[in-house]
Amino acid sequence: MYYGIPLRARRLRRFYSQFVRPGSLCFDVGAHAGNRVRCWRQLGARVLAIEPQADFVRILRWLYGRDGGVEIVPVAVGARPGTAELLVSERTPTVTTLSQAWVEGVQRDPRFKSVTWSRGERVEVVTLQSLIERYGEPAFVKVDVEGFEAEVLAGLTTPVRALSFEYVPATRAIALDCIERLAALGTYRYNWSLGETHRLASTQWIDAVGMRAQLESLPALASSGDVYALRADAAAQ
């Protein structure tokens, strides 16, 4: 699914090349099986792969443990340091989460009707800002943490150049909170990508008001996707 489709890999490289340059530092928050890690390394970036699930950490170490351009950090990211309990979906581990509220929200979506969660291990939680202080300021941050995106950004105080975060229409309030947090950090322009198309939906980058309106207008059963935020001074370049 993540590595066996060559056309998808090429599409990913074309898409991310607008954000990632050779020598860039990128943070993959919720690295899962690491397909973004591979893409960004192929674009010449250094990558911090952040993933709390032990099974995925083993995969990441198997694939990238000998790559000096990849640092694997086996933690979760949140608003404050500490520990938290994972809610694990054993059949669909990519929707494992730290957010009970997100689980309750997506269960209203019929597409999640066959998904179940159980209590898992406690994991270490660090802030995004602490990772920046340790590893440096990233050129791009991908946040895909199944409903914990707003908590991740709550732990950020540096207005990074560019980032993305997932949105799910059934829990769109989380994405709206992310926009509010970014507005507190600086001025950003926004775009979005539907599902796994890896294609920006708008030909123009829009302001926070426009992005909020776009999210609020989505039907309850619309496809999920990712919001992209580009700091205004970077968008002008």
Query: Which residues are 48's β-sheet partners?
Result: 27, 71
Task: Please state the domain extents for the chain.
Answer: 6-231
At 64-82, the pLDDT tens digits run 999 999 999 999 999 999 9
Strand, coil or helix: 190: strand
Task: For residue range 39-59, list pLDDT tens digits in order.
Answer: 999 999 999 999 999 999 999
- The model's pLDDT over 117-130, given as tens digits with 9 standing for 90+, comes to 999 999 999 999 99
Q: What is the pLDDT of residue 1?
A: 47
CATH architecture of structural domain 6-231:
3-Layer(aba) Sandwich (3.40)
Q: Which of 184, 157, 144 is nearest to 53 (CA)?
A: 144
Residue 106 tokens, joined? 């997506």
Closest CA to 136 of 5, 24, 53, 35: 24
Q: How far apart are CA 88 and CA 129, in angstroms?
A: 26
